[in-house]
Structure formats: structure tokens, C-alpha cells
Structure 1
């Protein structure tokens, strides 16, 4: 059986119409007809088997994927790569074809942690991309890998400096600063107080932060007072 036949058989076997309809509502910017309705744990498990096939590169070369679950499988396969250089190369080949927040956010960046300096260099270049989900992915890397012991204050300036109209980019910027308010509260609150973020992202970051159990009641009160009016 070819790898394409293997994938088609797996997707047909695990298709769930109810879950397909649920997914279509969560990802409204893609064609609902591109969604089959296969649950993520099943995709992850199958991707581990695909990654061991000698012909896996044949599947990885089939870009763009017209089916949402095939893009998910692609992301779950490439993140099993343990060599940093090959992992980055696979990500950079795939990212231009990512067209939704779910595939973007489920493309794990954990493997980039083996070389933080090189990862940061890639983040800087991805932030300059003209592609919406490449920028979203870059901010996600900063959020997941660089808000704890690897944090540097200049990372905030990088995210503040992203000036784009897309909802899913600015939602990630807001999510990033909401996480920062929990993990780097003093430095992140300075950003909020300064008012350097656009009003929508500023207010959304505050909203997400005050919904968090990791933010103290006192900090929540300060943040609520910093909400800004849309002009």
C-alpha cells in the first residue's frame, strides 16, 4: 500500500460527521468541505506510524494539502524530527501552506528548544514574514519557549512591533501578553501601562489575563483599570 493509500484509508475509517461539523465551527475561515472530522489523538497516533515509513518524504512533498487532516498529519510527522536543522527546514517548507489557527497552534515548537539562540534567530525572521500564520507561529514560539528562564525584555518589543490587521495574529499577540502577565508580571504590566499596544490587542490581553487563575486579585484590579476605549 502506498503512503497516500494508507492515509486515505485511515481518514475514511476515522471520519466522524459530528466532529467534522464541530471542527468546521471552530475554524470558520477554511472550507468546511476540506474537513473530514478525525480526532486529534487519532491523528497524532497515526502520524507516529507514518513517520517511520521509508516513503514519508513522498507525503511531506505533497504541498499544499487540500484536506485539513492531512495538514494536521504533516505537522505531527515533522515535529518528530530530532535534528534541529532538519526540523527547521521542514517547518519552513510547511509554514507557508498553513491556513488556519488550529494547524498553526498544533505545530509543536518543543524541538526548537535544543538550540534557543538559533530558534530566536528564526523567530525574528518569521516575524517579518508576509504570511499570517507564520507570524502567529513565531509569536507562539516566544510564548511557549521564551517566557520563563529564557525570557529577555526585548522579546516584548518584537511582539509589540508586529503591526498587522489579521485577527488571528492579533489574538496571538494578546494571548502572548496575557501569558506574560502571569509569567513575567512586572515587565509585562509595564507594557500594558505604557499603552504601546493597539487598543484591541491591549484590551484583549487584559481580558484574557483577568480570566486566568494565575493572576492575583490585586493585579486583576490594576489591569481592569487600564482598559482603553475604542476610538
Structure 2
């Protein structure tokens, strides 16, 4: 662990540290190492005793927390073991960058849809902002598909939390639903239980998409509450 921390400080980039700190709240403990380098370190760790690493790893710095999450995502293990590690890791998520990077690295979800869908359900009802965001970002990364679109829209409509990062994640997910399944999502937008902020942010994100034509964007803008 001391060698890892020394390596992280050797890789530190002060300009990136300042940039990322401004972009992402709650990063007072950031060293300033770029994500591709963190991914490489995590992959190296998974080639050795990664279980031992996770059992003794330190989490004083942003990068150390993120590396732990990446090791869990990259490690070779069965579904149940990985889900147990994920369960332990989720409470450690304290900003959107850790959440989103961790979620979009969990590629095992693609081959274990049913098990992971069941796994994330309790998080959708959590009182903690980043636990809910974790579940929503898992959904937007892996479940906006033909098989799941109906239940995804139904699920997103039931998310209730005042946290900014929950509302933004739901809006982001709905915008992806629209891009992939415009007709179904349009019907949903005309009849939903979203709060005004999340609803309007959903429309905004749809209009920001390069995959939505000008005519459709004009219609979407006219639907603002």
C-alpha cells in the first residue's frame, strides 16, 4: 500500500487535480492522477492477490477509493463474490465521479442482467443519495434495452429523493431512453410522476443529444413545465 501511494503521488498532475476538483465536488482529498493511469494500476493489481489487496487497502485519497472500485470491476470472480464486494463498496461512494466510473466499468452486468437487476432494487429505495445514483447509473448503462425499457421507465418514475445527483442521474437515464426508444419515452414524458426539476432536466438532456433532430428538439422544448 505504501508503494501504491508513492506511485500515485509520482503520477500526480497538478493541472488535472485543479481541473477535476473544480468539476467534481467532494474531492478535497484528490492526488490528481488521470483515470487511464488508475485503470492500468487496477488491472495490474487484479493479476496478483487482489482479494488481499482489497482486505488491507487504504482509502484516504480519492484515487485509492476509485482503484478499489476498479479492482472489484476488473477482478476475475463469480457473480456472487463480485456482488458481495460491490455491496461493501457502494457505501464508500461519495461523489458522482466515483459512482459513474465504477458503474460503467462493471461490464459483468451484461451477462448477469437478472441477478444484478434484483441486486440494485434495495438501492433504488435507499435514503442515501449516492446509493440511489449507483442503481440509476447501473440502469442507464446496462438496462435501456428492448427487454427492459418498459420496466426501466416504470422504475425511474418511482425514484424519490431530493438529492441533486439523483435527479440528474434520472434525467440522464430518461434522455438515453428517449434516444433509444423515442416513441415509448415520449408517451412516458406525457404522463409521468417526475418532479418538475427532474422532468425539465430530462427534456434539456434530450435536446443536448446529437442523436435527436431539430424538429423533435423543438417539440421537446415546447413540453417544458
TM-score normalised per structure 1: 0.90
More helix by share: 2
Work out whether 1:227 is the aligned partner of 2:224. Answer: yes
> What's 2:127 paired with?
130
> What's 2:68 paired with?
74
Q: CA deviation at 1:156?
A: 1.1
Q: CA deviation at 1:129?
A: 2.2
Rounded Cα–Cα distance in structure 1 between residues aligned with 2:111 and 2:144: 16
User: Is the Cα contact below 8 Å between 2:127 and 2:161 reproduced in 1?
Assistant: no
Q: Give the alignment's Cα RMSD to 1 decimal.
A: 1.6
Q: CA deviation at 1:102?
A: 0.3
> What's 1:46 paired with?
41
Structure 2: state its 5+ residue gaps: none
> What's 2:156 paired with?
159
1:11-50 → structure 2 map (5 Å cutoff)? 11-28=8-25, 30-32=26-28, 34-50=29-45
> What's 2:59 paired with?
65
User: Is the Cα contact below 8 Å between 1:14 and 1:38 reproduced in 2?
Assistant: yes
1:203 to 164, 179, 200: 200
1:105 to 100, 108, 112: 100
> What's 2:173 paired with?
176
Once the two structures are superposed, residues 143-198 of structure 1 have per-residue CA deviations (whole angstroms, 9 ceiling, x without a partner) of: 11111233241221211111101000100000000111101111111121114211
Rounded Cα–Cα distance in structure 1 between residues aligned with 2:51 and 2:151: 38
User: Is the Cα contact below 8 Å between 1:63 and 1:97 reproduced in 2?
Assistant: no
Q: How many residues align?
A: 222
What's the secondary structure of 1:79's corresponding residue?
helix
Q: CA deviation at 1:95?
A: 0.4
Q: CA deviation at 1:217?
A: 2.4
Q: CA deviation at 1:127?
A: 0.8
Rounded Cα–Cα distance in structure 2 between residues aligned with 1:156 and 1:64: 38
> What's 2:90 paired with?
95
